[in-house]
Amino acid sequence: MYFWKCWRCTRTHFIGSLIALPALCVLFTSIFVRFGDPDAMRKAASPSVIRAWSATTEIILGGWASFFTLMWGLILGASSLGEEFKERTADFLLVRPRHRRYWVWTGWSVGVSELTVMVFLAVGATFGTLLYLTGHVQSWWPLAMTLPLAVGGAVAYGLTYFTTLVVRSGRQGLSYGVGILFINILLPPATSYYWNVNFPSVLGFMMATCKGATSASEAFPAGSLVLWTAIALAFPFAAQLLLERAEA
Amino acid sequence: MATAPGSGGRGKLCVPRRRDGRALDKATVAVYQYSMLLHVNPASGVPTYLQIETQVKHYIAAGALVPGDALPSVRKLAADLRISTNTVARAYQNLERDGVLRTVQGGRTYVAENPGSFLKSERVRRLRPYARQIAVEGTQLRLEPREIMELVQQELDALEGVDERSGDLERETR
Amino acid sequence: MNDLAIWSEKLVKIYPGVRAVDGLSLNVPRGVAYGFLGRNGAGKTSTIRILLGLARPTEGRATVLGFSVGRDQVAILERTAFVSESKTLYGDLTPRELVRFTRGFYPNWSDQAVTKYSRLFEIPMDRPFSKLSQGNRTKVYLLLALSQGADLLVLDEPGMGLDPVVVDEFLRVLVEDVIGDGRTVFISSHQLADVEQIADWVGLIDQGKLLLEARLDDIKSQFRWVTVAGNALPPTKSPEVLLVAREGDFCKYLVKKDAEAFAAELSRQGATVAEVSPLGLREIFLALVRKEEACTSGNVGGVPAPISSAL
């Protein structure tokens, strides 16, 4: 029931994003590919086709779509359970006969599901556009990019989900989430430059996965995937622990 | 005007008719009448159950309620008066214990055949606390014994008057 | 295990700087209407929040419908309907959607009740909650609570924003459909007249402590003001006297039982007893909560020890 309620309350934004992101992906992919040589695109195994596919995957999916997914994940997390405290509906909710972990995980699942669907459609749209423009499938890998993108999105979503619950306000939770995410993105270049320490960044993970996927020379970064999946799940788990101990 | 249950058609009030003009059945008539007869004032210092008991006894004494008359169910009376069913139940139970009311198997409550048909000594024993209360209060209010007795007599006379008046009422509403 | 609807033992709740609940021991029997009364800030809402699992007690224990508060909270919530003081719900959902949301949680949910009460209270079922008036919002809350099939209804200011006609209908519904079914109603309200009308029991709380817990009938039939003329009065150490108040040249004793005997005793000692009068609920509330001053050296005024009538 709560699943339905969360869906009902986010459905407008969800459907909006569902249309917007894939459409933009299609648009950008088309523009990007068009700047290449149109005849060469049509010939199989020509270097420019390979270039088109790998560059598109790296830049559109790894770069632009990743960033959009992270942002969207952050925003989605801010209109979650913590916000109910601010709107004073938490009393009504927590008096329903369910363990508190139910609210955390159900709410979180809705967001993650929506994110995954959106990412899959965006990736599919990109893939479809490339297929259409170049005439054949260079690689199936772009479709698999759904996974790292979804995981990255889930990390951002879980982050604001947790911060919103801590401060019990969507707006403040979002600010904290954005702040933490940006530190996470900007810190690794700095640490690797100054101290040669490779600090993992979620955006870096998403970009690297998308880049590595089509060059076929690099192995699929399974280790990073496991790490970031664990982080993505850690946030709702922390939220559960918090809610179970907190007063309403 | 529908005739009421019990003998002689006493203690009647104007009972609404159905929209199609047909008369209500007897049970409904009874319930209407006696729900409307009974009323309580929750804000008074007298407990609600006691108010109900007193009124029922009063109406029996005055002849407005006769043996065999059905009283509204606990739930109905409570709902109409907007008071707790526990209060009404308590009043009915007390009245039943006193022999004033009788509850049958199906759950309906009726005025007992011979309300207060106990040995005289028992009846005297039951009245004594009230007599004591009159004596104490009267003395405290610095009334003479003679004045207290007069007061009681007046009340007894008034009861008889109600009996006569309800007979008049019956003639008017025919 | 007990068969009280609500039971608590020395319940304490401390917020920073204030003891909101201070050693509260409630005894609410099943199948009754219990009026939970007190001033604002007396601890009513804090107590209710503890019972519903929204807050955790600092000390003490409590059970609701026999289940332990805290440990068996979900079992309690399955059987308890709650109307909170702040009647906020999801603004963009309509009452119909709110019903749809709520009904899935309760196996005893009654769709007939929804139809019956939405019609009775005239609730606009398809208007978003944020666009409803205060009265309609309260009605939606009442609808959800009444349709739940709960064994216990906990109502915090259920009459907020309701006009007298709707309040009257609601009281009727409570009596007929809830108490009449043997279920329990726990009302916290400032509307003393409404509480006095349907309550079987009252519990009066002040500064986190229970001042009085008794059957309303007992209060009515036994509590009395004994008004005595004069200032120089013989000292009386009677356990039945709850407090003493001064009113001009008169001294009023609030006696919890055997008022006649007490008055007679005072008379015997030479005092002039002007009146022995009954009390309504409002008077009791005001008298106990206002902490009247002492009248004689023999009787200390102020907040008396909590009294409870035998169950």
pLDDT on residue C309? 41
pLDDT tens digits, A10-56: 888 889 888 888 888 888 888 777 765 555 555 545 566 677 777 77
C185 lies in the same domain as C297: no
Q: Is A247 on the interface with C (CB under 8 A)?
A: yes
Residue A60 pLDDT exceeds 70:
yes
C163 lies in the same domain as C246: no
pLDDT on residue A128? 86
Tell me the pLDDT of chain A averaged across its residues.
84
Residues B12 and A239: their CA atoms lie apart, in Å, by 70
pLDDT on residue C114? 97
Which pLDDT band, with edges at 50, 70 and 90, does B170 fall under?
very low
C288 lies in the same domain as C139: no
Looking at the domain assignment, is residue C273 inside a domain? yes
CA distances for C29 relative to B127, C4, C220, angstroms: 33, 5, 19
In chain A, the N- to C-terminal Cα span, in Å, equals 20
pLDDT tens digits, B111-156: 888 755 556 777 788 888 899 999 988 988 888 999 999 999 998 8
Residue B12 pLDDT exceeds 70:
no
Residue A142 pLDDT exceeds 90:
no
Q: Is B46 on the interface with C (CB under 8 A)?
A: yes
The answer to whether C213 touches C255, Cβ cutoff 8 Å, is no
Range name among A217-226, A233-242, B17-26 with the lowest pLDDT average: B17-26
B47 lies in the same domain as B60: yes
**In 3-state terms, what secondary structure has residue C227?**
strand
Chains B and C touch (3+ CB pairs under 8 A): yes
Residues A166 and A239: their CA atoms lie apart, in Å, by 8
The answer to whether A105 touches A188, Cβ cutoff 8 Å, is no
The answer to whether C211 touches C258, Cβ cutoff 8 Å, is no
C135 lies in the same domain as C239: no
Q: What percent of chain A has pLDDT over 90?
A: 32
Residue A156 pLDDT exceeds 50:
yes
Asked if B140 and C263 come within 8 Å (Cβ–Cβ), the reply is yes
Residue C303 pLDDT exceeds 50:
no
What does the domain layout of chain A look like in residue ranges?
2-245
Residues of C in contact with B82 (CB under 8 A): 168, 171-172, 175, 197-198
B76 lies in the same domain as B42: yes
Range of the domain at B134: 118-174
Residues of A in contact with C104 (CB under 8 A): 1
Output the six-digit token pair for A210: 């998308």
pLDDT tens digits, C182-202: 999 999 999 999 999 999 999
B38 lies in the same domain as B58: yes
What chains are in contact with B, requiring at least 3 Cβ pairs below 8 Å?
A: C
Residue A68 Cα, gap to closest chain C Cα (Å)? 27
Q: Is B27 on the interface with C (CB under 8 A)?
A: no
Residues C170 and C162: their CA atoms lie apart, in Å, by 10
Other Cβ atoms less than 10 A from the Cβ of A196: the count is 7
Out of C55, C75, C89, name the one closest to residue A248 (CB): C55
Residues of C in contact with B140 (CB under 8 A): 263, 267, 273, 276
Residue C279 Cα, gap to closest chain B Cα (Å)? 5
Out of A1, A92, A97, name the one closest to residue C74 (CB): A97
Nearest Cα to C267, choosing from B142, B140, B144?
Answer: B140
What chains are in contact with A, requiring at least 3 Cβ pairs below 8 Å?
A: C
Out of C171, C200, C282, name the one closest to residue B82 (CB): C171
pLDDT on residue C97? 94
C144 lies in the same domain as C256: no
pLDDT on residue B1? 33
Q: Is C128 on the interface with A (CB under 8 A)?
A: no
Domain count, chain B: 2
B136 lies in the same domain as B156: yes
Range of the domain at C72: 6-216
DSSP state of A195: T
Give bridge partners of residue C186 from the DSSP assignment.
C34, C154
Domain count, chain C: 2
**In 3-state terms, what secondary structure has residue C12?**
strand
Residues C88 and C137: their CA atoms lie apart, in Å, by 8
pLDDT on residue C310? 35
Which pLDDT band, with edges at 50, 70 and 90, does C16 fall under?
very high
Out of B43, B50, B84, name the one closest to residue C198 (CB): B84
Which pLDDT band, with edges at 50, 70 and 90, does B162 fall under?
low
pLDDT on residue B166? 52
Q: What is the number of residues in chain B?
A: 174
Range name among A101-105, C31-35, C298-302 with the lowest pLDDT average: C298-302
Output the six-digit token pair for A213: 């996927």
Out of C54, C78, C80, name the one closest to residue A91 (CB): C54
pLDDT on residue A108? 94
Q: Helices C164-173 and C111-120 sit at what angle, rounded to 10 degrees?
A: 150
Residue A5 pLDDT exceeds 70:
yes
B108 lies in the same domain as B124: no
Range name among B11-20, B66-75, C242-251 with the lowest pLDDT average: B11-20
In degrees rounded to 5, what are phi and psi of residue A78? -75, -20
* ipTM for this prediction: 0.83
Q: Is A87 on the interface with C (CB under 8 A)?
A: yes
What is the average pLDDT across C83-103? 93
Asked if B83 and C197 come within 8 Å (Cβ–Cβ), the reply is yes
* Domain C-terminal end among B85, B102, B117: B117
pLDDT on residue C23? 94
Which pLDDT band, with edges at 50, 70 and 90, does A66 fall under?
confident
